[in-house]
Structure 1
Amino acid sequence: MLTYVPPTERETPVIPNQRPWLLLLLCLVWLLPGLVGHDPWKPAELETAAVVKRFVDEGYWVLPRFADVAYLEFAPLYYWSAAIVAWPLSRLGMDIHDAGRLVTGLWMALSLWGIGLAGRELYGRRQGRVAVMALIGCVGLIIWGHQLAPQVLLVAAFSWHTYALAHSTRRPLIAGALLGLAWLVLLLGATWGEFLLALASAVLLLVFRPWRRAVYLTALVTALVISLPLAAVWALWLHQFSPAAFQAWWRFDALGPFGGLGSLQLFHSFGFFISTVAWFAWPALPLAAWGVWSNRRQWSGPAIVLPASMAALMAVWLACAGEVRDYSLLPLLIPLSLLATAGIDGLRRGAAAALNWFGLMTFGVGTLGLWLCWVALHFGVPPRLYAWVNGMNPDHVPSMAVPGLLFAAVLSVVWWRVITRKRPLGRLAVTNWACGVTLLWGVLIGLWQPWLDETKSYREASVSLERKMAGEPGSCIDASTAPDAMVVSLDYFTGLQLRRVGIDACRWQLRQGPPRDGEKVIWEGGRRGDQRDEMFYLLDKGATRQVLP
């Protein structure tokens, strides 16, 4: 229940002595689970894994591609960094996707470092760690912070972008260099759309007094001098390497959610942004709203102006975009987490207690459910729960992974110890929420990673098709109508020759969905646990009759 307490009777929150290594440990436990030990998962990891494999094997790093088509939804910086790490580790026996996924952990570590510095710069000592916990507690970051996917660069770039802006009035040259590097990450690793958003948020600050100074202009000029010429190198390189690919990128992908300069897209389906941000940015969103309201007398100060103007501009940008996906909201998590930091110590006791209780119940019950389902799957009790879990993947053969089991058990015990610690109630709620997110993700990966791998990986289906085609060396497969996920999986896991253009010379055709009368089927398969809804067929285009294997 929300109750009003007069300011004279409110308790002044006493910030206890905090050990930085505990925050580092929490970040590590949040970061590491799920980075290695599983195949590329649908939907986003397959394309990235295939691109990185092409870079490692072929060495042509200018054009991201899989099969025989370019993949230019994002610029290549993430693929470059993943290939740099994967090249030596793959020669030591590590899978390319596991080695590449370690880069996601490194970029996320940079993100947490950047937002921690921004929180300390804006709100003072001991506040940066609150910003870090608010960020890792966001529901939408759980998946994207652990995937083999370039979207993680959005979080890293905007974390350091925000820190550089907060730091720009004190040390303009250093801040300008950091700002330029952050913009370079967006230009070389995301799209020009995100860069223009960052540039607009920086220019917007000129309206406010703390940044209406010549030193701030020095920082902006320094950033532009660093970022634009280096980013132009890749664009010119791509144009020289493949003018057709450059034209496709320029026309359709250069502006990200807004399409390209040849096909500008505006205003996506109404309601998607509002409905998505409600859960994607939880609990930073309501805490940010409270942070703005509780500091309404300091709205003109840098601590509120910077993140609030960024959040408002990003909201308008997302509302006007023509194609918005959930990962498009990743940059918004940065200013919302900082605004949450601004009001966390002044959070009303009733609201803080409600958030704390909701977090404990949500993650406690969720973790208990994961344990109960795991026990049912491995020991068959209770029978009804076993039948339900087993029905989702009947082909799964339970095997007890001792390291994962021990990790999940230790994490559960440590979580119980953490939630019993006494802290100021606002910080307690944020800390417990971040620990709860870490617990649920860690237990999910520790107990269920083998099961998830079977249901989300296309490896078995791809290898099965390759065996079937072993007697047809050099034959190409028409994949023009097949879904991207299966095509990319075949390109990554096999050496089959796939084509999406110039398909007339291909005798075989890969297609999803039941074959028609008169078509000859030489192979069929799909992901384990999903073969009822997603089956693939290899057809002989030259045959006129259907022969089932």
Structure 2
Amino acid sequence: MSQAKTTPVHLTAAATGALPRYLLLAICIIYGLTGLFGRDPWKNEDAAGFGVMWQLGTGGVQDWLMPNIVGRPYSEDGPLVFWIGGLMIRLFGGWLGAPDAARLATALFYFGTCAFIWYSTYLLGRREEVQPFAFAFGGQPDARSYGRALADGALLIFLACVGLAMRGHETTAQVGQVCFIAMMLYGLVRSLDMPVQGSLWFGVGLGALCLASGPLLASSLLLATIIAGLVCQPLPLRRLLPIGMGLAVAMVAAWLAATYFGATTTDDAVAFIREWARYDRRAYGPPSWQTGGFIARNFFLYTWPVWPIAAFAWLSWRGMRRAAHVSVPLVLLAMLFLLLVLQRSPGDVQFILLLPPMAILAAFALPTLPRAAINAVDWFALLFFTIFGGTVWFMWIAKTTGWPPKIAANVFRQIPGFQHTFTVSAVIIALVVTLAWVLVVRWRLSRAPKQIWRPVVISAAGTTLMWVMAMTLWLPSINYGKTYRDVAQAAALALPPTYRCVQPIRMGNAQLASFAYFGHIRFGGPEDECDVLLRHDAVDYGAPGNLSHFEWRLIWEGRRPADRDERFRMYQLVERSAVKPVRPPVQRRLPRQ
């Protein structure tokens, strides 16, 4: 079949003008670095991931082989992301502080993801089967310009995703996993014209993904790769599978062997490896109404605006769905979405894994979007982010000036005890970003550019505006509401001058990591015979059971001011003779009237 009958793209060379490099880099750098520094680890996944990195950054060889949070094994995800975060703490922790140094790893993964998405789309966009219709008298774009325009669009779509803002700036294993998924995609695309080099990239990405997550996620994407190879014939499975799988298995085997032979005891190593290998299977199960409802409520907003554009790409390329630019990202996206549906305890942190293949697929819809769809995306982004920016400024003015009184009271009711301070630098940055937003909107509406990336410029600039304003004007308030710093330090002050250790009861990973880091509390396990208990209670369960000649005495209780659903209670083990009996209150008779 001729190209004229298959390609849905009819473009002139003017439509593939490259986005100014400085603008694209500015959006990537500002968006990626804002919110990484000058804040505490936030509940829940952010603080838990930092806790593992901090333990590696300050611990020994055993911590690196078997990641943990102050002795509690952490086998939910593989160690690779935590290794890099721990290395950053060791290198830069003394200069930046442990939390900011750990988030250097987040920045590294973020920029790596951006690079892999751009180059994957660029290589796909240069392929012969996706080139625009060749006019009789010329005027169509060349392959390189067309590929660059598509790559710019893919990167802007990725940055425009609303859900990337928070999750993409945390110290979680998922920020590394999304980078390695993008690396695998790049390896698959690169293998179409350079099989050996592409297979090496694919193998490193597959092995790194397994080391950053677990066997199930990596195995599922390997199965998706095989399916993609059967659907898309140019994909060189005969090179990809032996080279890629061999490299991935070698990477994972090296860690497993080091853990088995380097651990203090073989039993500990076997138990840790077994838990890591089994965690994925416990995290997934048959589809449930709970998971389906969660996805229905959150998926469409989290992945806006990429999901409607990606859906249109599938529709517009209906005659070429087995081509690499559609089938490769689509098969991986379908497998990741299936894993999302099979989660037992759904959470939006997993949505970020969908973004690389979805952004690459959506990029190929940009040349085929009708004018009505382009205008709809533009005007929605314009109205949404303008209203959002205005609301952020209005609420901040109310918080700062106390007017209107009701609005200010509602703000401080959400963060009781917070002391607001005026920061000149934050206000200046927010004003500059707001002015930049106005200029981008004015440029987009006045000049009406014809380039194919124009539908997502406002969306990408809007998410950058949203995130920068939140991380300047509202960072102190958000940090106050999401950190355990104050309650952890209060618990540390209540500890006896001399204590053996503190045993945590019903404390999550984020809480354990935060209390250990901010409070410098020495935690222990049941076998350590700790003389202090720190318990997390949703309700008051009463004092722990007493021992012979000893009893547990409540010495402190507290909670985060912004969280009413959790309370911490600390008990000390004391001898009964040392406990002063509490006299009942004296009942006084009231005089008769």
Alignment partner of 2:71 out of 55, 68, 71: 68
Between the aligned residues of both structures, percent identity stands at 23
Aligned with 1:143 (options 153, 166, 172): 166
CA positional deviation for 1:436 = 0.5
Using a 3 Å threshold, how does the CA distance of structure 1 residues 311 and 48 change in structure 2: closer, same or farther?
closer
1:78 aligned partner: 81
Once the two structures are superposed, residues 165-221 of structure 1 have per-residue CA deviations (whole angstroms, 9 ceiling, x without a partner) of 111121111111111111121122121122112211221123135336xx5412332
Q: Distance in 1 between matches of 2:278 and 2:155?
A: 29
Alpha-carbon offset, residue 463 of structure 1? 1.2
2:587 aligns with none
- Structure 1 range deviating more: 81-90 or 484-493: 484-493
SS of 2:556's partner is strand
How far is the alpha carbon of 1:459 from its aligned partner? Answer: 1.0
Q: Counterpart of 1:18 in 2: which secondary structure?
A: coil
Unaligned runs of 5+ in 1: 1-6
Aligned to 2:485: 459
8 Å CA contact retained: 1:49, 1:492: no
Aligned counterpart, 1:304: 326
Bigger Cα Rg: 2
Query: What corresponds to 2:240 in structure 1?
Result: 219
2:79 maps to amino acid: P
Give the TM-score of the pair, scaled to structure 2: 0.84
SS state at 1:540 partner: strand
**Pairs within 5 Å for 1:481-500:** 481-500=506-525
Match of 1:36 in 2: 37
**1:431 aligned to 2:453?**
no
Structure 1 SS opposite 2:494? helix
For the residues of structure 2 that align with 1:328 and 1:174, how far apart are their CA atoms? 29
Which of the residues 392, 399, 409 maps onto 2:421? 399
* Distance across 2 between alignment mates of 1:250 and 1:208: 35
| 1:231 equivalent in structure 2 | 252
Partner residue in 2 for 1:203: 226
Tell me the C-alpha RMSD between the 2 structures: 2.5
Indicate conservation of the 8 Å contact 1:164/1:178, yes or no. Answer: yes
CA-CA distance at 1:299 after TM superposition: 1.5
Q: For residues 160 and 546 of structure 1, what CA distance do their matches in structure 2 show?
A: 65
Alignment map for 1:129-528 (pairs within 5 Å): 129-211=152-234, 215-240=236-261, 241=263, 243-254=266-277, 257-259=280-282, 265-268=285-288, 269-271=290-292, 272-421=294-443, 422-424=448-450, 427-469=453-495, 471-502=496-527, 504-513=529-538, 515=540, 520-528=553-561
How many residue pairs get aligned? The number is 532
What letter matches 2:442 in structure 1? T
The CA deviation at 1:410 is: 0.6
CA separation of 1:190/1:384 partners in 2, compared to 1, >3 Å: closer, same or farther?
same
Tell me how far 1:500 sits from its aligned partner: 4.2
- Between stretches 368-377 and 228-237, larger displacement belongs to 228-237
Report the AA paired with residue 249 of structure 2.
L
Task: Describe the shift of the 1:481–1:446 C-alpha distance in structure 2 as closer, same or farther (beyond 3 A).
Answer: same
Preserved contact between residue 48 and residue 149 of structure 1 (Cα < 8 Å): yes
Distance 1:320 1:374, change over 3 A: closer
The aligned residue for residue 591 of structure 2 is: none
Q: Does 1:535 align with 2:567?
A: yes
- The equivalent residue for 1:96 is 98
2:404 partner letter: P
- Show the counterpart of 2:124: 122
Aligned pair in 2 of structure 1 residues 105, 252: CA closer, same or farther (>3 Å)?
Answer: same
For structure 2, the residue ranges without an aligned partner over 5 or more in a row are 1-6, 126-146, 544-551, 584-593
Describe the superposition over 1:259-303 as per-residue Cα deviations: whole angstroms up to 9, x where unpaired: 38xxx7443545134443222222111111101101112222211
| Contact kept? 2:80, 2:211, Cα under 8 Å | yes
Counterparts of 1:14 and 1:517, CA distance in 2 = 70
Q: Provide, for residues 462-497 of structure 1, a one-character-per-residue CA deviation record: whole Å limited to 9, x for no partner.
A: 11111221x432332221233443222112223322
Note if contact 2:532-2:570 (Cα within 8 Å) is conserved in structure 1: no
CA distance in structure 2 between the partners assigned to 1:189 and 1:100 by the alignment: 16
Q: Is the contact between residue 426 and residue 472 of structure 2 (CA under 8 Å) also seen in structure 1?
A: yes
**2: distance between equivalents of 1:227 and 1:257?**
18
Partner of 2:16: 15
Deviation at 1:97?
0.9
1:131 is matched by which residue type in structure 2? A
Distance 2:435 2:82 in 1: 38
Whole-Å separation in 2 of the counterparts to 1:276 and 1:529 = 24
SS, match of residue 506 in structure 2: coil
Give how far 1:546 is off: 7.8
Distance 1:509 1:329, change over 3 A: closer
CA displacement at 1:326 relative to structure 2 = 2.0
